[in-house]
Structures are given as structure tokens and as C-alpha cells.
Copies of this chain bind each other. A is one copy, B any other.
């Protein structure tokens, strides 16, 4: 659908722009330049202008961008007018933290169901999100298309396969396992240990100049 020509790097920044535009709007700001936005989101101003330009001419020369207009534009581009329902598998330490966090206000995303293999957790709820047994995935998942995966790494592959069979096509994978999925399924890996370790590596091997 839409424009298949929006670069992936651009697409990844859209939610970021959206959030800052929301902030600006709430602060009552009417206009904003790519330079200001650049300072706020730490993305080069030329990159921001380029990003926006893929969607047409959203700004005005000499003026900048109208906050309200831009916000509205991105709201619909990001489908923020409707709630996206997602499920979470693995209500452990990390999973619980996500369940307690609301993605609704800023992202219009709601975790509506959680699943776990631990029967002592099943039947309870965390911040209003009911926890089902993972064996009930088939009956309970319904038409949810996006899943947050926070199970132990050893379970990841097996669960992922089940999810795919149930029609899931997006997985946000927090396990260290690199799961194998058919090409029509999109997996984003967030590998916290790798992030931490690579930060440490950069610090030791890429000394940054002082000022």
C-alpha cells in the first residue's frame, strides 16, 4: 500500500518525529523549523527535511512547518487514529514491565492479552491485562497481528512458529535467539545484552574527542 518508496531509515524515524510534534503541540507551539526539530531529536536538519520531503512539500520556505498540520499528517500516516492491539508472550520480569507501561497515550497501541506457561500466573491480570495460558494461544489470540516476545530464549523458536501459524506477521523479539520465520513475517530484534555490550565496546575503541 501507500508509498513503497519511503526509505527504511526514514520510516524508523517517523514515530520519533511524531512524538516530538505532539510535545510541541501540547506546548502550544504553532510553527517549527527543521533546525529546531533537529536539536530536539538529534537528527541532522537536512535529514529531517529529506525525510519529510518523501511525503511531499509539507513545509513553507522561510517559515518552517506548521505543527498542527504536520502532526495531523503524521497521525494518519502512522495510523494513529485507530488503536493497534498487540499481545505479549512471557509475562516474566521484562514482560511485566511492558504490561505496566501504557503505550496508549503516545502510540495508540494497547497490549490486550498476555500469555505465559507458568500456571500460577494464568488467570491473574497485570494492570488490567489478562494472562492466559500459552496453550490457549489458538483460541485467544484471535486477530492480533503483532506480538511482543519476552520468553526465555530456548522457547523463542517454538513459540514464534506457533504465532506465525496463527497469522501473526510482526514480532518484537526481546530474546537473544535469532528466530527463523517465513518471509512474510517481520521480526524486529531488540537485544539488550548486545546493546549494552556494544556500547561498552564503542567506549573502549572509539575514543570520542573532548569537545
| Residues of chain B lying within 8 A (CB to CB) of residue A210 | 182-184
Q: Are A97 and B106 in contact (CB under 8 A)?
A: no
| Residues of chain B lying within 8 A (CB to CB) of residue A98 | 192
| Residues of chain B lying within 8 A (CB to CB) of residue A178 | 40-42
Q: Which of B1, B16, B211 contacts A184 (CB 8 A)?
A: B211
Q: Interface size of A by Cβ–Cβ distance < 8 Å?
A: 68
Q: Which of B106, B180, B191, B208 contacts A186 (CB 8 A)?
A: B208
Q: Which of B96, B183, B193 contacts A93 (CB 8 A)?
A: B96
Q: Are A79 and B204 in contact (CB under 8 A)?
A: yes
Give the residue name and chain of the B residue nearest to A182 (CB). B211
Q: Are B86 and A196 in contact (CB under 8 A)?
A: yes
Contact A84 to B172, CB < 8 A, known contacts A190-B192, A205-B11 = no
User: Interface of A with B (CB < 8 Å)?
Assistant: 1-4, 6, 8, 11-12, 14-16, 18-19, 40-42, 78-79, 84, 86, 93-94, 96-98, 100-101, 103, 106-107, 109, 145-146, 148, 169-170, 172, 176, 178, 180, 182-186, 188, 190-211
